[in-house]
Structure 1
């Protein structure tokens, strides 16, 4: 399959570009406003993203642009009949995600959100071994330190902020483990230069699931998920961007009972899932993306705001 890439930043350059090649596909066109391309690249480079879509050089497109461009460029590709793999979040709001779902269905084009964590075997194992029939308490932390005012994550006009960049992972964990109906939301957003530099809160779901989360762009790099049931606890020390080898600790009343190790590359698995869906002419299903976007909207509108000066 010939794949075009829109935006050639760190994720596209270091993760997706090699993953595409590793599973046997080719990158034939890159859209880069700055003209960035990998060494030895033999395809075409376009400064206008739309030109990649209309070039006739691609069978599908991976979109890794700033958040505010995800919706318009995904829509542009879908309407041109090009299957789309778009980085999270698909849109800046639930309304944008719902609109993409309608357009994809109308155009009979395939659209998939690039939440690579769903394709790592540690999360497949978690879903198989944790019963969602009993109450679950989830604790999710995801932090990094980025204070560059020019970085897209720190600019409101490009859809920056911790909620959209990494908060979606906390919400995804809840959805992965069975959350569907949000019944309560309390928390705080620390606003710096127009974006939430940190968001922390508690969400309650009708499915006997509670999520406590803290995501920040102003703390030392750290990530962790802890899942508690009545009798067990699972600790995932590298839940969202694990290395090739990662570990889950399963604990009971006597301490660590089992240690599970996994080897896999989630980006390659995601590309394979995307390719398989296209080959099978699968229909677009954005149910999870729409729910997560709705919960994210609730956080934006209901959490307290504190202005950081």
Structure 2
């Protein structure tokens, strides 16, 4: 089944692992003896729908796909979620087909040599191997991931706009010192304080600066900031939006954020986010390589920054183009 796309049976394990997390999927490509086929597998595995994408999909589908939508009697929201998984596989196969016409393609090996021999490992050997690989990852890739995570956190936390934060901090202090403290009120003020901090941070200002770049996709600066923060990990997108909309102690994936996105309005009282915006975001997150850990792992597996840079650039460009097309098409349909 994979032969027309220039792939063989060895990609099954990396692709399957990629549905949980792209990192073990990329590392599983080591079982492929051919250097070119291994590289193709490493480049395509991050397209599989990993668990980090699920909170983003769940938020957008719950907020913008009507519960009354029931194609052929099936739950419409469930159909869209399943469709995102199918879309990921389809994109990987189409890109594999495109790579088939490049220097990365090589003749198919004989069927007898496709699958390596699999044997049940001994528990002791397995434990030692797992520990060695985990330590290797933490000592090398982990250093880069930790450093970049700190940088992203700093960008979202600094600088502090004292003039803007002072009134909210004073309000919070007054609420805490009141004889009858109101936990709900304190949570609401804390949410507004966190939102004000991120709006005045380098990340928030960057989001406003790049808003014109993402406006054709139907995004405003808030979504742009959340997408930038998702470089640390895709699921951070949900938490960042929750912070911006000052949800305080509420669960960011709860009805609070869903309702906030539905109720958000522009200055002219038109909806800030629509079904077209959600479709654009779904397509973008399905394709774009928004995971520092995966990028670092690809660098380690390929021995340099060349292929991760190419991979990130191509997937970002493809995600942007398809998101733009999906947004415009959905708008034309009235979404």
Same fold per superposition (TM over 0.5): no
Q: Would you tell me which structure has more strand in proportion to its own residues?
A: 1
- Between structure 1 and structure 2, the one with the greater Rg is 2
Q: Please give the TM-score of this superposition, normalised by the length of structure 2.
A: 0.24
Q: Please give the TM-score of this superposition, normalised by the length of structure 1.
A: 0.26
